[in-house]
Amino acid sequence: MTLSVLSVASEAFPLIKTGGLADVVGALPAALAPHDIAVTTLIPGFPKVMRAIGDAPRVHHWPHIIGTDAWLRAARIGEHRLLVLDAPHLYAREGLPYVDSDGHDWHDNWRRFAVLARAGADLTSGAVPGFDFDLLHAHDWQAALAPAFLHYAPGPGPVARSIVTIHNIAFQGSFAAHHFADLGLPPRAWSIDGVEYYGQIGYLKAGLRTADAITTVSPTYAEEIHRPQYGMGLEGLIAQRAACVSGIVNGIDPAIWNPGADTALAAPFTVDTLDDRIANKRAVEALFGLEQDDRPIFTVISRLTWQKGMDVLVEVIDDLVAMGGRLVVLGSGDPALEIAFAAAALRHPGRVAARIGYDEPVSHLLQGGCDAILIPSRFEPCGLTQLYGLAYGCVPVVARTGGLADTIIDANEAALTTGVATGLQFDDVTPDTIVAALRRAMRLHAGQDRWRIIQVNGMNADYSWRQSGRHYAELYRSVLGYS
Ligand code: ADP
Q: Is the CB of 318 under 6 A from ligand 1?
A: no
Alpha carbon distance 379, 393 (integer Å) = 24
Residues 6+ apart with CB under 8 A from 290: 284, 297, 326, 328, 350, 351, 353
- pLDDT at 222 exceeding the cut of 90: yes
Minimum-distance ligand 1 atom for the alpha carbon of 367: 16
**Among the listed residues 163, 256, 176, the one whose alpha carbon sits nearest the alpha carbon of residue 465:** 256
pLDDT digits (tens, 9 = 90+) for 414-448: 999 999 999 999 999 999 999 999 999 999 999 87
Alpha carbon distance 290, 350 (integer Å) = 4
Q: Is the CB of 402 under 6 A from ligand 1?
A: no
Q: Is the CB of 7 under 6 A from ligand 1?
A: no
- pLDDT at 471 exceeding the cut of 80: yes
Residues 284, 379, single domain; the answer is: yes
Cα angle vertex 290, ends 287, 294, to 5°? 110
Nearest CA to ligand 1 atom 20: 302
Q: Is the CB of 363 under 6 A from ligand 1?
A: yes
Q: Is the CB of 171 under 6 A from ligand 1?
A: no
Residues 243, 386, single domain; the answer is: no
Residues 46, 180, single domain; the answer is: yes
Nearest CA to ligand 1 atom 18: 302
pLDDT digits (tens, 9 = 90+) for 46-74: 999 999 999 999 999 999 999 999 999 99
Average pLDDT over residues 31-39: 97
| 380: exposed, middle or buried (Cβ count in 10 Å: 0-12, 13-18, 19+) | buried
Residues 141, 211, single domain; the answer is: yes
Minimum-distance ligand 1 atom for the alpha carbon of 167: 2
pLDDT digits (tens, 9 = 90+) for 334-347: 999 999 999 999 99
Residues 93, 141, single domain; the answer is: yes
Mutate which of 139, 384, 387 for ligand 1 pocket (most atoms within 8 A of beta carbon): 384
Alpha carbon distance 84, 15 (integer Å) = 11
Q: Which domain holds residue 333?
A: 259-463
Q: Is the CB of 23 under 6 A from ligand 1?
A: yes
Q: What is the dihedral of CA 376, 382, 383, 384, to 10 degrees?
A: 150
**What integer pLDDT is reported at residue 96 of this predicted model?**
81
Average pLDDT over residues 237-242: 97
Q: Is the CB of 24 under 6 A from ligand 1?
A: no
Average pLDDT over residues 103-116: 96
- pLDDT at 326 exceeding the cut of 90: yes
**Among the listed residues 136, 286, 294, the one whose alpha carbon sits nearest the alpha carbon of residue 211:** 136
Q: How far is the CA of 332 from the centre of ligand 1 (A)?
A: 10
Residues 6+ apart with CB under 8 A from 250: 20, 23, 24, 27, 217, 218, 382, 384, 387, 403, 468
Q: Which of 36-45, 157-166, 465-474 has the lowest mean pLDDT?
A: 157-166
Q: What is the dihedral of CA 317, 338, 389, 417, to 10 degrees?
A: 20
Cα angle vertex 423, ends 422, 428, to 5°? 140
Q: Mean pLDDT score of the chain, rounded to an integer?
A: 96
Question: What's 188's domain CATH number?
Answer: 3.40.50.2000
| 54: exposed, middle or buried (Cβ count in 10 Å: 0-12, 13-18, 19+) | exposed
Q: Is the CB of 70 under 6 A from ligand 1?
A: no
Q: What is the number of residues in the chain?
A: 483
Q: What is the dihedral of CA 3, 463, 137, 233, to 10 degrees?
A: 150
**Among the listed residues 207, 139, 200, 130, the one whose alpha carbon sits nearest the alpha carbon of residue 168:** 139
Mutate which of 304, 305, 358 for ligand 1 pocket (most atoms within 8 A of beta carbon): 358
Alpha carbon distance 256, 117 (integer Å) = 29
Q: How far is the CA of 132 from the centre of ligand 1 (A)?
A: 34
**What integer pLDDT is reported at residue 458 of this predicted model?**
98
Residues 6+ apart with CB under 8 A from 332: 303, 304, 338, 356, 357, 358
- Looking at the chain, the whole-number percentage of residues with pLDDT higher than 90 is 93
Q: What is the dihedral of CA 105, 111, 117, 118, to 10 degrees?
A: 180
Residues 235, 278, single domain; the answer is: no
Taking residue 205's Cβ as centre, other Cβ atoms within 10 Å add up to 26
Q: Is the CB of 256 under 6 A from ligand 1?
A: no
**What integer pLDDT is reported at residue 121 of this predicted model?**
97
**What integer pLDDT is reported at residue 212 of this predicted model?**
97
Q: How far is the CA of 72 from the CAs of 55, 84, 183, 394, 454, in angstroms?
A: 12, 6, 19, 42, 49
Q: 378 falls in which pLDDT band (50, 70, 90)?
A: very high
Nearest CA to ligand 1 atom 17: 19
* CB-facing half-sphere around the CA of 176: CA atoms within 13 A: 7
ipTM tops the 0.90 cut: yes
Residues 59, 170, single domain; the answer is: yes
Minimum-distance ligand 1 atom for the alpha carbon of 307: 3
**What integer pLDDT is reported at residue 108 of this predicted model?**
97
Q: 102 falls in which pLDDT band (50, 70, 90)?
A: confident
Alpha carbon distance 52, 17 (integer Å) = 13
**What integer pLDDT is reported at residue 255 of this predicted model?**
86
Nearest CA to ligand 1 atom 24: 358
Q: How far is the CA of 363 from the centre of ligand 1 (A)?
A: 9
**What integer pLDDT is reported at residue 218 of this predicted model?**
96
Mutate which of 217, 308, 356, 385 for ligand 1 pocket (most atoms within 8 A of beta carbon): 385
Contact (CB, 8 A) for 216 and 381: yes
Contact (CB, 8 A) for 137 and 131: no
Residues 290, 367, single domain; the answer is: yes
Residues 415, 391, single domain; the answer is: yes
Residues 142, 280, single domain; the answer is: no
Q: State whether residue 132 is helix, strand or coil.
A: coil
Q: How far is the CA of 301 from the centre of ligand 1 (A)?
A: 6
Count up the domains in the chain and report the number: 2
Residues 215, 348, single domain; the answer is: no
Q: How far is the CA of 480 from the CAs of 28, 121, 136, in angstroms?
A: 18, 17, 11
Instruction: Tell me the longest C-alpha to C-alpha distance in the chain.
Output: 70
Peptide bond connecting 187 to the previous residue in cis, omega within 30 degrees of 0: no
Number of H helices, E strands in the chain: 22, 18
Alpha carbon distance 386, 378 (integer Å) = 15
**What integer pLDDT is reported at residue 437 of this predicted model?**
98
**What integer pLDDT is reported at residue 157 of this predicted model?**
61
Q: 156 falls in which pLDDT band (50, 70, 90)?
A: low
- Looking at the chain, the whole-number percentage of residues with pLDDT higher than 70 is 99
Q: 154 falls in which pLDDT band (50, 70, 90)?
A: confident
DSSP 429-469: --HHHHHHHHHHHHHHHHSHHHHHHHHHHHHHS--BHHHHH
Q: Which residues make beta-bridge pairs with 331?
A: 302, 356
pLDDT digits (tens, 9 = 90+) for 247-301: 999 999 888 999 999 999 999 999 999 999 999 999 999 999 999 999 999 999 9
Residues 54, 101, single domain; the answer is: yes
**Among the listed residues 100, 150, 92, 145, the one whose alpha carbon sits nearest the alpha carbon of residue 123:** 150
Mutate which of 17, 167, 230, 302 for ligand 1 pocket (most atoms within 8 A of beta carbon): 302
Q: 158 falls in which pLDDT band (50, 70, 90)?
A: low
- pLDDT at 406 exceeding the cut of 70: yes
Q: Is the CB of 329 under 6 A from ligand 1?
A: no
